[in-house]
Structure 1
Amino acid sequence: MNLYRSKLVKKIYLAGLLMASNQVMASDDCQFGGLVNQSDWVERVSLASDDCYKSWFNAPKGTALSLYSESSLKNIVLELDKSIVSYRGEESEAKRIHNLSEFIRAAYYVRYNNRSELGSFSKDFSVMVAHIADRFIGSDNARLLGAEQADAMYSVTLLVDNIRQLPITMDSMLTLLESINPENSQSYEFIWGVNNLFVAMFGHIYLDEFYEDLLLHPEYLERLENFVHDNLWLMGTEAEMLLHHAVREIGRLLVSDKEAINQSVVRFLKKVMRDHGLDGEQRKLWVAAAEMLLHYEPEIAESLDIPNQKIVLEQNLFVHRYQCEGPAVIRSQNLTKEQEVEACEKLREAENEFHSLVKSGQVPVEDDYNSELEVVVWKDKSSYSTFSHFLFGNSTNNGGQYLEGDPTKADNTARFLAYRTDSDTLSILNLEHEYVHYLDGRFNLYGDFRQTMAKGNIVWWLEGFAEYAHYKDKNQGAIRVIGKDNYSLSEVLATSYDDDANRVYRWGYLAVRFLFEKHPTEIEQLLGYARKGEYSTWSKEVQRLGSDYDQEFTLWIKSLANDKGQEPESEERPNSDKITEMSLNSSATYSAKKYQEHLFYIDVPDRVTEFKVSIKGDGDADLYASYDRVAHYFDYETADYKVGASNEAIIFEPQDDGFVVPGRYYFSLTGRDSFHKVIVSSVAEIEAVEDSSQNYPTVLENGQTEIITVDGVYYVGLYVDEPGTVNVSVKPVDDKHGNIDLYIGLDAWASKENFDIPAYDILDYKYVNFEASKPGYVYFTFDSVADSRKFELTISH
C-alpha cells in the first residue's frame, strides 16, 4: 500500500542536522514534530509514552534527511544497545527498550514505504541493529512475562522483520519459540512476540541470503518441525496459532529454488497431513499443510488426492443444509432449524424489498444462470479465517464475501461466505448486504464482476446500493461521516475500490439514497443500461449526473446532517452517565465487581491502518465490542475473553483498502469475577498526513522540475543512488531582481558558514555541476539576500 499517493514532492519535518532559526516546533513532548529541534531527543524517545508512536510511523518521507538518517538513527541504536546491556527486567527498563525499538522500526517503516525515492538503510547498519536485537532475544530477560517486559520483547522481535536480517537472529528466535510453556502461553503479548519469528520468515521469502543460511543450518528447519510435533498441547489454546503459522511458514519455503530445502519441506508437510487428518481440532494443521502444497506444489498435491480431500472436509464441516423458499440454499456448521428459518425469512424480506426498489419484475438479466445462491455460514470468525480461503478461495480479512463466479455458465455456483458473531442467536454478519450483491448481479448487472467494472464509475452503486437496500434511511454510520471529508457527487460517483471504506460504503450509500429519493427516474435509466451490459453508456451518464446534481447533492447532505429525526428507532443512544468516551492511543484504569460492566466507545477516524484495544491487570475481566451499536457482555459482535485472566485484546483488521472501517466502536469491560485494577489501552496507527509548512524542506526526485519560492532560507534534498555528476539548474521565473545564494552540502545541511560547494549571487540563470562520490542525500540550502524570489529548479544526476 502506498501511503503517499497524493504527491511526489512533500514538505518534511526538519531535524538535528537542520538548525534553521525560523523553526517553531513543540519541545515538551515525544511527538515526532517535537523531537526534531531538541538536543535531548534521544532521551525523549527513551521516555516516550505509547501515544507518540503513531507520529513516528507517520513521519513524512523527508525524515530520511533528518532523525531517520543513518547518522542520527545510530544514536538511537547505540542507546538501545546500552539499554539492553544494562537491562535487569525492571518495568522502566523494559519500557525504554520498547520505545527505542519502536523508533527504529518506524524509521525503517518510513524508508520502506518510500524506498524508490529515499533508498534503503545500508546493509552494515542493518547488520549492526540485528546483532543488538539478537543479544536481547537470546537473553533470559526476553522471556519475562510482565506486560512491559513482553511488550519490549515483542518490539525487538518484530524489528528483525523490519531490518530483514533474520539469519543473524534465527537461532535465538527459535530458542525463544521453544521456550513456550503452559504459563507463558497465557500471555497475549508473549505469544505475539514469539510469533514474530513467522512474521520475519514471511518477510524473507524472496531473499536469497535467508535460504543460503538455511542450507548452512539445516537444524533450523528440524527445530521448527520438532516444535510442531512436540507442542500439540497448544491446540485449543490461545497460542495454537503458533502451530498453524509454523506449518504455513515452513510450507512457504517452497518458494525457494533450493532442492534440499524443498525436499525437507515436502517431507514435513506430508507428515503433518498423515498425522493430523480431517477429524478434530488438529485438522487445522492438515489444512495449513495442504494449502501450501496446493499453492506451491500442485502436482504433489494432486498425487496426495488433496482436491478430493477438500471436498470431504467441506462435507464434514457443513453438516446442515436448508433450502429457502427462493434461490438461497443455506449451508452451515451449527445453525438450528429455527435459525435457518429465521435466516430465510430475512433473505425473503430483503429480496422483496430489492425487487420493489429496482422494479425488476423479477426478470433476470440475459445469460445469467445464477438461479441458486449458496449461503455458507461459518460458526465463528476463527473457523472462517482457518478454512474459508482453503475451501472457497475468498479472502478472510473481512466480514464476509460474495463470489459471483461466471453467471453465463450453467454449472456456475454463486455463493457468499459469512460467519456468525454469536452462537446463541442468528447473528450472521453482513447477511443482507451480501445477499443484495447476489440479487444486484442477477437482476441488474449484465455479465460477471470483471465486465461490470470494466468502464468504471460503478463502485458507488455496487457497495452503496447494497448498503441502501439494507439500511434504507436508517444508516447513522453514513450520516456521521458528513462534515468530516465531504465529497461532491461527482467525486463519489468516481469512487474506486482503492478509496477508503468511508468513501466506498458510506458516501456510496449517500449517493444512492440521494438519487432514489430525489431522482428515481435517473436510477431507472441507469439500470436500463446495466441490464443490457451497456457500461460505457452507464459511465458517461454517471459523469453527467455528477455535473448536473453536484450543487443539489451538497445542499441535500447538509440538510440530512442537520435533520434530528433520522435516528433509527432500534439504535440505543447511551446517556453520558452510562457510557464514556475514550480517545485513540490512550489508556484508562477500571475496577468492578462480579458481572459489573463499564461501557465506553472510541471514535475511529479515516485512514487508520491498525486498531487494537487491549486490557491487562488483576482479577478476571473480559472485553466485548460492537461496531456502531452499544456492546454488552450479552450482546456483542466480537470479543476476546480468557477464563481467570484480565489479559486480552481485540484487533480490528483493515478492510481490502488497507484501512480499518471508520466510525464509532462500542466496548463493554465486564467482570467475570471482580477486579481492582484493569488498564484498558487503545492503540491505532493512522496514515501520514503531510504537512505543508514552508519551514520544511522539499525532497526532489531525480530530474524533477519544481517551482520554489525562496523567502529567507529554503531547503531541498535529493537522493543520489550511485556516485556520479549532479547537475543543478536554477532559473528565475519572476521579474524581481534580488540575489539568492546557494550552499551545497554533501554530508549535511549547508549554511553560509559551513558548506562543501558554494554558488553565490544567483540573479539570473545559474547552472552548477559537481561530483557526488557515494550514494546518499545531497543537501541544498537557498538563502534570499533581500526580497523573496521564485525559481524553476531542476536537479539531476
Structure 2
Amino acid sequence: MKHNQRLFVPKKLVTALLLAGVSSTAAAQCEYQDLIQSPDIIADISDAEQSCFRSWYNAPEEAAQGLYSEASLQQIQRALATEVTHYRGEDAQAKRIANLSEFVRAAYFARYATQDKHGYYSEAMSQSLAQLSDQFLRSPFARDLGRDQVDAMSGMSLMVDSVKQLPLAMDSMLDMLGSFDRESAQNLQYVDGLNNLFRAMSGHVSRSAFYDDMARHPEYLTRLKTFVDQNQWALGTDAEFLVYNAVRESGRLLATRNDTLREQVLAMMEQTLQQHQIGTPGERLWLAAAEMILFYAPERGAELHLAEGKTQLEQRLLPNRYTCHGPAIIRSQNLSDQQAQKACDVLEAKEADFHDVVNSGAVPVADDHNDQVEVVVWPSNDAYVTYSNFLFGNSTDNGGQYLEGTPSDPNNTARFLAYRYDSGDDLAILNLEHEYVHYLDGRFNLYGGFGDTLSHGNMVWWLEGFAEYMHYKKGYQAAIDLASDANYSLSDVFATDYNHDVNRIYRWGYLAVRFMIENHPADVDRLLQLGRSGEYQSWAEEVKRLGPQYDSEFATWLTTLSSEEPGTDHGDDNNDNGDQSDDAMPSFGMNHSAHFSADQYEEQQFYIDIPDGVTSFTVTTRGDGDSDLYASYQKVAHYYDYQVSEYGSGSDEVITFTPQSNGFIAPGRYYFSLTARESFSDVEVISQVETSSPAKAEDDLTPLLLTNGQAVNLDINETRYAGLYVDRPAVVRVWLSSVGEKDGEVDLYVGRQSWASTEDFDLASQHAGSNEYVEMTVEQPGYVHFTLDAQHPGG
C-alpha cells in the first residue's frame, strides 16, 4: 500500500468487532434497476435493504437525467419531509428516514461524478435538504439509542455534508454533540453518528461560506472547546476519537482567511497544548492541536517549538531500535530483541527469494541511495492510526505503507510503517513481507521515486500485484476465488490505477503478475529492464501491447486455478510470521457463498481475509437445523473461544462488522466457526463485502510543502493545499499541468498571507483544463499558500 490519507481516528481494533444481529430476508426489490421501473419508488426506497445501497451509489451516468434528476429527487425530499415532521422514534419511521437520506446521499454522490456533463443540484435543493436535517436533529427522538434510530440520526447528519450546507445545521449538530455522555458513549454507532459533525467540518474546508458563518458565530468554537474540556473522561476509551476530532477539526479552521476567527482558533489550540502535555493521558489532544498548527500556521508552530515536541514524541513512542544484518532497521515500542531478530530473519529470507525471482543480481538501480530501510512497527492499529501520520506522513486507512521518499537524495530515509495485531510472544506484524517487497522493488527494479513510476500509467498492477505474489506465490485462495468470476481481461488489469477497488488492485494484480512470471518470464525481464532504466513511457507502451496479445491465454489460464493445491503459503496475507494453527483451514472468499453440513457439536471452520479499503462486511447464515456462527479477529475462533457471536435458536444469523470511524473495516484475517448446536444438513454461509466507500474519494488535506525547482505529482478529488516558503524577496512562478492519462478541470488559487478559497483569494489561474500558471512578486520572507480546486474529481 503506497498512498491515500486518513481524516479521522478509528476506534481501537476491539471495537471493529461490534455487531448487530438481524434475521435473514429474501432478496429485496430495491436495486437501482428495480427502482427505475418501480410504480411506487418512495415505498421501495423506504423499505429497501442495505444490500441495495451499493447499486444506488454505482448508478449509471444516465441516472442524472432520470432517477437522480432534481425533479425526481424533489419527490424524495417531500417524502423525507413528511417522515421527519411525524417522527416519534418508532423503528419503522426510523428505517424509512435512514433509507430516504441514504438515497439522497447516493444521488449527490453519483451526480457529483457527472456534473461536468449533466450539471449538479441547485442551491435551493441543497438548502432544503439541510434544513430537513436541522429539523430532524432538533427532535428529542433524534437522541434515541436504538439501532434503527441511530441509523436515522447518522444518515440525516451525514446528509449535511453531502449537500455541503453545514452552516444551516451547525447549531443543531452542536446540540447533538452535547448528548455525548458515559451512557451514549457505550453505543459506538451513536458516537460515530455524532462524529458526522467533524466529517462535515472537514468536508467544508474549502468553502468560504462555512468560515464566514463560523466567524459570525464565535460561540460555536467556544462550545467545541467546552465539549473537549467536559469530556476528558472519554480519553483512553473507545469513544475518545470524538474528543480528538473536536480538537483536530477546530484546528483545521486555521485555513480561514478571517483574522479574528484564526486568532480565536490559535488561542484554543495553544490552550490545548498547555493543558495536555506529551506523556499525559491527553497526549493525543496535544498531537491534534500541534498537527493543525504545523499544517496551517507553521510560523506559529516554529514559535511554539512544535518540531522539537514532535521529535520528543517520536523518541517516547519508539524507544527500541534493532539493526538487521541486511538493510532493515527495526524501530518499535514493544518488540523484544528476540522478536526483532525474528522479523529480520523473515525479511532476509524474503530478500533472497526476491533476487532469485527477478534476476536482479542484487544490483540496485542507478542513483538509488536507499541502502537502508526503517521498519517502524507500532504496537497496535490504534497506535498506528493515532501517531503514524503525524510523525511520518503516511496514510493510515490501510494495513501498512511504504514511503520511498526521494531515492536519489543521499540524505533520504526509506521507511515503511506497520503494526502488530497481537501483543503476545508471536511477531504478529501485519503485511510485513508485502511492504518490504515494495522497498526491494523500488531499489532493484524501478528507477526513481514513486511518482516517477506512476508517471505514464500501467504500473499499479505490477506494484501491488508483485508484492502480493512475492508473499503468496501459489495458493492465494482469495484471488483464486475471484478468478472463477473472470471479471477482467489481462488488458483491464494492466490498466488498473489506484482509483480502482482493492480486489482489482491487489488480487487481480497478483493474478496478472503470476500469469506473466509463470508463462512469459522473458516479457517480465524486458519490462524490468525498462523499469531499471526509468523508461516508463516505454513500459506503458509495452504493457498496452502485451495485454491484447495475451488476453485469451490469460482467460484460459484462470480456469486452471480453481482446483489448484495451495503452495507453501496458505493465503496468509495478514499473518506474515505468527504461528496460527490454520494450515488446513479453508479460505472463504469475499462476496462468496457455500453450503455446510455438520453433526451435533461438530464445528466447520474457515477464515476470510479483509484487505484495505473495505467499507462493509457481513457474514450471514441460513438453513436447516440449529447452527451457531462465532468469529474472532486475527485468532482462530471456536464455539468455546471467540470474540463475537449472534447465536440463537435456528440457523438464521448475521454478523455485521462495524467500520472504524474512518469508514473502513479493520484489515486483517477474520476467523469463523460454524458449530452445530443440533445437526444440520444444509446451511448456507454468505459473505458480503463492499470495497468502495459511499462517499466521494477524500483528499489528503495536509498541506504539501513544495521545494523550489522540484515537481510533485498528486491526485485531486476536490481540494488540495500546498505551501512554498520563500526566504527572501523573489518572483514566484508556479505551473500546474496534467500528468499521464488523467486529466481534469483544476483551478489554482493563491493566498499571500493565508489560505485561499474559491471565493476569497489574492491571485488565481482558472483556465479550462488542468494547465494553470501564476506569477507573483514576494516582497518579504514567508509562506505562499496555494489552494487547488478540482471541478471534476480524479485529476
TM-score, structure 2 normalization: 0.71
**1:399 is paired with a residue of what secondary structure?**
coil
Alpha-carbon offset, residue 267 of structure 1: 0.9
Sequence identity (%): 47
Find the counterpart in structure 2 of residue 428 from structure 1: 429
Find the counterpart in structure 2 of residue 324 from structure 1: 324
Find the counterpart in structure 2 of residue 21 from structure 1: none
Pair 684,314 (structure 1): closer, same or farther in 2 beyond 3 Å: same
**2:418 is paired with a residue of what secondary structure?**
strand
Pair 662,182 (structure 1): closer, same or farther in 2 beyond 3 Å: closer
Cα distance in structure 2, aligned partners of 1:632 and 1:269: 48
Could you tell me which amino acid in structure 2 is paired with residue 326 of structure 1? Answer: G
Alpha-carbon offset, residue 491 of structure 1: 4.4
2:336 matches 1:336: yes
**1:367 is paired with a residue of what secondary structure?**
coil
Contact 2:616–2:691 under 8 Å retained in 1:
yes
* Residues 429-438 or 523-532, more deviating: 523-532
Cα distance in structure 2, aligned partners of 1:489 and 1:71: 42
Pair 210,661 (structure 1): closer, same or farther in 2 beyond 3 Å: closer
* Residues 99-108 or 548-557, more deviating: 548-557
Q: Deviations over 1:655-702 (max 9, x none)?
A: 9xxx999999655699xxxxxxxxx996747699xxxxxxxxxxxxxx
Contact 1:276–1:285 under 8 Å retained in 2:
yes
Pair 50,365 (structure 1): closer, same or farther in 2 beyond 3 Å: closer
Could you tell me which amino acid in structure 2 is paired with residue 650 of structure 1? Answer: T
Could you tell me which amino acid in structure 1 is paired with residue 471 of structure 2? Answer: H
**1:53 is paired with a residue of what secondary structure?**
helix
Within a 5 Å distance, the mapping from 1:588-607 to structure 2 comes to none
Contact 1:369–1:408 under 8 Å retained in 2:
yes
Alpha-carbon offset, residue 419 of structure 1: 1.0
Alpha-carbon offset, residue 68 of structure 1: 3.4
Alpha-carbon offset, residue 64 of structure 1: 3.8
Pair 614,382 (structure 1): closer, same or farther in 2 beyond 3 Å: farther
Alpha-carbon offset, residue 227 of structure 1: 0.7
2:658 matches 1:650: yes
Cα distance in structure 2, aligned partners of 1:426 and 1:30: 46
2:475 matches 1:474: yes
Contact 1:623–1:648 under 8 Å retained in 2:
no
**2:616 is paired with a residue of what secondary structure?**
strand
Within a 5 Å distance, the mapping from 1:102-181 to structure 2 comes to 102-181=102-181
Could you tell me which amino acid in structure 2 is paired with residue 624 of structure 1? Answer: S
2:174 matches 1:193: no
Which is bigger in relative contact order (C-alpha 8 A, separation at least 6)?
Answer: 2
Cα distance in structure 2, aligned partners of 1:194 and 1:260: 28
Cα distance in structure 2, aligned partners of 1:401 and 1:580: 26
Could you tell me which amino acid in structure 2 is paired with residue 336 of structure 1? Answer: S
Alpha-carbon offset, residue 608 of structure 1: 8.6
Number of residue pairs the alignment of both structures matches: 630
2:615 matches 1:610: yes
2:281 matches 1:276: no
Pair 45,305 (structure 1): closer, same or farther in 2 beyond 3 Å: same
**1:651 is paired with a residue of what secondary structure?**
coil
**2:175 is paired with a residue of what secondary structure?**
helix
Cα distance in structure 1, aligned partners of 2:41 and 2:54: 17
Cα distance in structure 2, aligned partners of 1:475 and 1:582: 13
Find the counterpart in structure 2 of residue 450 from structure 1: 451
Q: Deviations over 1:585-615 (max 9, x none)?
A: 9xxxxxx99xx999677799x9997314499
Contact 2:80–2:101 under 8 Å retained in 1:
yes
Q: Deviations over 1:749-792 (max 9, x none)?
A: xxxxxxxxxxxxxxxxxxxxxxxxxxxxxxxxxxxxxxxxxxxx
Pair 240,649 (structure 1): closer, same or farther in 2 beyond 3 Å: farther
**2:45 is paired with a residue of what secondary structure?**
helix
Pair 547,114 (structure 1): closer, same or farther in 2 beyond 3 Å: closer
Question: Unpaired segments of 5 or more residues in structure 2?
Answer: 1-25, 573-581, 594-599, 621-628, 647-653, 676-685, 695-795
Find the counterpart in structure 1 of residue 738 from structure 2: none
Find the counterpart in structure 1 of residue 558 from structure 2: 557
Name the Cα RMSD after superposition: 4.1
Cα distance in structure 1, aligned partners of 2:329 and 2:28: 62
Could you tell me which amino acid in structure 2 is paired with residue 468 of structure 1? Answer: Y
Pair 167,322 (structure 1): closer, same or farther in 2 beyond 3 Å: same
Cα distance in structure 2, aligned partners of 1:232 and 1:321: 33
Find the counterpart in structure 2 of residue 309 from structure 1: 309
* Residues 510-519 or 660-669, more deviating: 660-669
Q: Deviations over 1:625-679 (max 9, x none)?
A: 46xx97669999xx8999xxx9984327999xxx999999655699xxxxxxxxx
Contact 2:228–2:243 under 8 Å retained in 1:
yes
Contact 1:48–1:99 under 8 Å retained in 2:
yes
Pair 158,622 (structure 1): closer, same or farther in 2 beyond 3 Å: farther
Pair 58,555 (structure 1): closer, same or farther in 2 beyond 3 Å: closer
Q: Deviations over 1:262-316 (max 9, x none)?
A: 1101111111111111113421111111111111111111111111211111111
Cα distance in structure 2, aligned partners of 1:431 and 1:608: 18
Contact 1:581–1:600 under 8 Å retained in 2:
no
Contact 1:488–1:553 under 8 Å retained in 2:
yes
Pair 653,161 (structure 1): closer, same or farther in 2 beyond 3 Å: closer
Alpha-carbon offset, residue 171 of structure 1: 1.2
2:189 matches 1:184: no
Pair 497,75 (structure 1): closer, same or farther in 2 beyond 3 Å: closer
Find the counterpart in structure 2 of residue 367 from structure 1: 367
Find the counterpart in structure 1 of residue 461 from structure 2: 460
Cα distance in structure 2, aligned partners of 1:442 and 1:86: 63
Contact 1:28–1:34 under 8 Å retained in 2:
no
Cα distance in structure 2, aligned partners of 1:666 and 1:506: 20
Find the counterpart in structure 2 of residue 419 from structure 1: 419
Contact 1:612–1:683 under 8 Å retained in 2:
yes
Alpha-carbon offset, residue 365 of structure 1: 2.8
Cα distance in structure 1, aligned partners of 2:415 and 2:459: 22
Contact 1:582–1:600 under 8 Å retained in 2:
no
Find the counterpart in structure 2 of residue 738 from structure 1: none
Could you tell me which amino acid in structure 2 is paired with residue 339 of structure 1? Answer: Q
Alpha-carbon offset, residue 486 of structure 1: 4.7
Find the counterpart in structure 1 of residue 58 from structure 2: 58
Alpha-carbon offset, residue 624 of structure 1: 3.1
Cα distance in structure 2, aligned partners of 1:245 and 1:153: 19
**1:142 is paired with a residue of what secondary structure?**
helix
Pair 313,607 (structure 1): closer, same or farther in 2 beyond 3 Å: closer
Alpha-carbon offset, residue 551 of structure 1: 4.5
Contact 2:474–2:566 under 8 Å retained in 1:
no
Q: Deviations over 1:232-290 (max 9, x none)?
A: 11111121111111111111112211111111011111111111111134211111111
Alpha-carbon offset, residue 413 of structure 1: 1.0
Alpha-carbon offset, residue 115 of structure 1: 2.3
Could you tell me which amino acid in structure 1 is paired with residue 241 of structure 2? Answer: M
Could you tell me which amino acid in structure 2 is paired with residue 312 of structure 1? Answer: Q
* Residues 565-574 or 179-188, more deviating: 565-574
Pair 177,411 (structure 1): closer, same or farther in 2 beyond 3 Å: same
Contact 1:420–1:426 under 8 Å retained in 2:
yes
Contact 2:502–2:691 under 8 Å retained in 1:
no
**1:415 is paired with a residue of what secondary structure?**
strand
**1:121 is paired with a residue of what secondary structure?**
coil
Within a 5 Å distance, the mapping from 1:489-568 to structure 2 comes to 489-543=490-544, 545-546=546-547, 549-564=550-565
Could you tell me which amino acid in structure 1 is paired with residue 433 of structure 2? Answer: E
Cα distance in structure 1, aligned partners of 2:590 and 2:480: 21
Find the counterpart in structure 2 of residue 286 from structure 1: 286
Alpha-carbon offset, residue 138 of structure 1: 1.2
Could you tell me which amino acid in structure 2 is paired with residue 474 of structure 1? Answer: G
Pair 488,311 (structure 1): closer, same or farther in 2 beyond 3 Å: same
**2:415 is paired with a residue of what secondary structure?**
strand
Find the counterpart in structure 2 of residue 246 from structure 1: 246
Pair 470,684 (structure 1): closer, same or farther in 2 beyond 3 Å: closer
Question: Unpaired segments of 5 or more residues in structure 1?
Answer: 1-25, 586-591, 616-620, 671-679, 689-797
Structure with max Cα Rg? 1
Cα distance in structure 2, aligned partners of 1:77 and 1:454: 44
Contact 1:501–1:662 under 8 Å retained in 2:
no
Find the counterpart in structure 1 of residue 15 from structure 2: none
